[in-house]
Structure 1
């Protein structure tokens, strides 16, 4: 396959996935999307499945259920029907049926504690996370309003060792384009304490400062959402991050009286362990909140 064709197909697949994530609370019209992208529905489905290993409808279903599973824990004042609507379901009964198929328990059972064992199984998929002795009980966030960031990115399928290769490719792109001033950001479209690690979408992003004039056909770009976030500053070693995200969603958020939204959380690296020999990180982690 020619380089130009591969880049075009990659952009279409990424555009579809980005659209799904940013419109997950609405009815997603595949026909309308194919018109917007100027590609036939047949071609669009084939490109997407080649890129992500599952079809568009399966991905929509999976993302909706993951968002709902988060909101059931954090949005205590929202009814199950409210949460179903927030995630694009028009029928509560169909939502309950599909939720039970995925998580082997009803939304109500999940909400009152069933999530813990399910989530612990995910955590056990990471040997490093299980070895982590980090304690976050005294950690408290700053509440901040963040602007939107234009980012150039590579999407990594899986929360796995391939992330290091992805960051090295991005670093190569930075050096090739002589970019001097930029941020390194990881976007967690999927919550790796609820979604199996090999299915997580981890987005490694470079956010050049506005002074940089970047034009790139090599990497796709999108805007990281503005909004109100809880920011946690954290230092540690590999394995601590997964354990930390587990704590944020299952300890801090449910007890904080804040609600979360369908916007993805993200990490800003001050020290990126994927690009360092010593495997240590210094990050700010942002989780979208509402009150």
Structure 2
């Protein structure tokens, strides 16, 4: 049964309100986040909000807050190698380093200090796995285009023999100072990848056309690291710049994409190639760059005249990584 217009309007209103809560939580992780206060952000009663949140996110508010604090702590441990564990604990809302360590070990099966020490090996393994996956996908494509009677060529099973494992980072990267941008956004919650590719034409583009914004540049913001956060809970915002007087109607929200120094890498390829490019940028280019990550969001920037090939799914964009000095 198709939802009625009233049901669609109510769903859009709930979406906008719940996104405001998620954004508020991220901005105030270092504080006590009480149910009543978050309910007020969403304009719900505390009784109603508790149930709406659990139904909407698939986890209780308490579970979400604990998971989000630990996800951000894991990023702090990597991005802030000199920051004491106690300071990280306080920054994400734990009362002590010991409280963080207990919860962290339950979630990640290691202590915060071990997580930090294991970072170089974990990054190397992630880079190799991403290149290995790209190699397998390319091999499958080649086999599909080859003579069906011809046996497939062997895939190398070791690091040294892998074509993609030996590939050097080749994207053009420039360091740029970007201005802040006021954006309207629609949010997708779920795995990155094919579902994001469908989200743009099925939901974002109709909204852009309805508001006369289809010819503007666009941004794609991934708020979560899929190697830390479960895919079904990853948040992605499809954004478009808007003027100061633009009022977002449900289900869209308004945010500011922070300005500052970014590494901007030129990219052209399909979705799987973009995943590999992000991994190479963060796991190979960044450690050698003389910079470290900043806490601002990562994003993809699509110029208004960016190329998109309907038949191949390949697209043009810039991969933008927030930076600060070591």
- TM-score greater than 0.5 by the shorter chain: yes
* Matching residue of 1:193: 227
Instruction: Tell me if the contact between 2:89 and 2:97 (Cα under 8 Å) persists in the aligned partners.
Output: yes
Q: Judging changes above 3 Å, is the alpha-carbon distance between structure 1 residues 231 and 117 closer, same or farther for their aligned structure 2 residues?
A: closer
Residue correspondence of structure 1 range 81-230 to structure 2 within 5 A: 81-113=86-118, 116-117=121-122, 120=126, 127=133, 131=137, 133=164, 135-136=168-169, 139-168=172-201, 169-208=203-242, 210=243, 214-230=246-262
Distance in 2, Cα, partners of 1:13 & 1:285: 28
Distance in 1, Cα, partners of 2:279 & 2:76: 14
Tell me whether 1:30 sits opposite 2:35 in the alignment.
yes
Q: Judging changes above 3 Å, is the alpha-carbon distance between structure 1 residues 255 and 55 closer, same or farther for their aligned structure 2 residues?
A: farther
Q: How many pairs are equivalent? A: 287
TM-score of the superposed pair, with normalisation by structure 1:
0.84
Tell me the secondary structure at the aligned position of residue 9 of structure 1: helix
Larger Rg: 2
Distance in 2, Cα, partners of 1:130 & 1:229: 35
Distance in 2, Cα, partners of 1:188 & 1:90: 29
Distance in 1, Cα, partners of 2:136 & 2:296: 27
Q: Which 5+ residue runs of structure 2 have no aligned equivalent?
A: 139-163
Distance in 2, Cα, partners of 1:26 & 1:248: 33
* Matching residue of 1:240: 273
TM-score of the superposed pair, with normalisation by structure 2:
0.76
Please, what is the CA RMSD of the aligned residues? 3.1
* Matching residue of 2:26: 21
Q: Judging changes above 3 Å, is the alpha-carbon distance between structure 1 residues 155 and 179 closer, same or farther for their aligned structure 2 residues?
A: same
Distance in 2, Cα, partners of 1:129 & 1:85: 42
Distance in 2, Cα, partners of 1:84 & 1:129: 40
Q: Which 5+ residue runs of structure 1 have no aligned equivalent?
A: none
